């Protein structure tokens, strides 16, 4: 499990706390420092509303016509990534609201 985290974001902190409370171990990726992992880009690019419009800017938003454009934008501007994002077994979810991250946990 990989968790794309911005520690300055309250929703990101809340989602991480929810996972920790349940004893879920995640690989925390501080994407603002490291960028988005290349292997995760195709998974993330399939999510609706994964680009933060304000961070991307209007010019970039008008040039997005599909997942390839989303991946290119996130490579060059990781700040435009909506957060937090949890990736589990090739599936991803945006943690807005934070409880959304729980949807990818296996129910036992």
Q: Is 89 a catalytic residue?
A: no
Given phi > 0 = left and psi -120 to 50 = alpha, else beta, which region is 89? left
Given the residues 2, 6, 8, 9, the one annotated as active site = 9
56, 80 in Cβ contact below 8 A? Answer: yes
- E-state strands within 1-108: 2-4, 27-29, 85-88, 91-94
Residues labelled catalytic: 9
């Amino acid at each position: 499990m990989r968790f794309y985290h911005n520690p300055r974001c309250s929703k990101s902190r809340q989602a991480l706390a929810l996972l920790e409370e349940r004893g879920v171990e995640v690989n925390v990726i501080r994407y603002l420092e490291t960028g988005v992992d290349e292997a995760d880009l195709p998974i993330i690019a399939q999510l609706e509303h994964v680009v933060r419009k304000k961070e991307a800017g209007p010019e970039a938003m008008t040039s997005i016509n599909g997942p390839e454009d989303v991946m290119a934008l996130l490579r060059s501007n990781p700040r435009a990534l909506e957060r937090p994002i949890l990736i589990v077994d090739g599936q991803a979810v945006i943690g807005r609201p934070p409880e959304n991250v729980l949807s990818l946990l296996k129910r036992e």
